[in-house]
Amino acid sequence: MSDYQSFTREDHDGVAVVRFDHPPINLVDRTMVIDLLHLAKSLEGDVQTKVVIFRSDNPEFFLAHYDLGSQLDAAPMALPPGVASPLSGLFSRFSRLPQVTIGELRGRARGAGSEFLLALDMRFAAEETAVLGQPEIGVGLLPGAGGTVRLTQMLGRARALEVCLGGDDFDARLAERYGWINRALPGEQLGSFCDALARRIAGFPAGGIANVKAVVERVSSADDDALVDESQRFVADMQAPETVERVRWMLAQGGQTHGVMERELGTLLGRYPHPLNE
């Protein structure tokens, strides 16, 4: 029986495969966050595992996004000054894992789903079906779990602004051109490619892998102060009246369910019935 409720883990020859399975859309909710916290702790002390592949059993969703609905009637988060949000801190833990981490994307990864992928070492996507997006601006937010910071590092200023302010969906081919993912591959080849790469890396000496990761991390790690600033802004804006109104509208249209609103979220958030859109 799996130790986790929202995914499974299988290990073989130094490679761990984590498969998200949290119906209906692999939402990043409390259950998922608790599971990811336990996984991070397990991997941080794991000297046997060299590579971790993250994939999804849901062909339409890798990780949908953060559970915005859970925040509407909850007490405002008390985030102390100078501290990043728990979700941002969790994703930063994944970015610093001793293992090589690989994201295999076949469906949608928006919001926190995209931000989780950004925290991994490598990302590969199915060119026919993968979708990436940071749609937070549609409800008046910024990507608050590392997305604004890491996208700017990876894509550059102009493209990060396009992604975060446009709030639209990006297919795998464009994401590859922008540097959001390593490669876009035919879907039928994606799994075997990621498996072969993981096995190849796992066959090399652990010391060499650790040294490569350590130096690359030193050069490319996300700025801690920027991550804190991003989190502080996200948490403060989450309670803004217009944000709350827009999130309620999104949920009323079928957001966070396996419906059209969620499948076409990047496009449909731009149709909020604001006077400017009428």
**Looking at the predicted structure, is the pLDDT value of residue 278 above 80?**
no
Query: Do you know the residue count of the chain?
Result: 278
pTM over 0.85: yes
Q: Looking at residue 273, what is its pLDDT? A: 82
Three-class SS of residue 56? strand
Backbone angles phi, psi at 108, to 5 degrees: -100, 140
Percent of the chain beyond pLDDT 70? Answer: 97
- Tens of pLDDT, residue by residue over 107-148, are 999 999 999 999 999 999 999 999 999 999 988 999 999 999
Beta bridge partners of residue 8, listed in sequence order: 19
Radius of gyration of the chain (CA): 18
CB of 101 closer than 8 Å to CB of 94 = yes
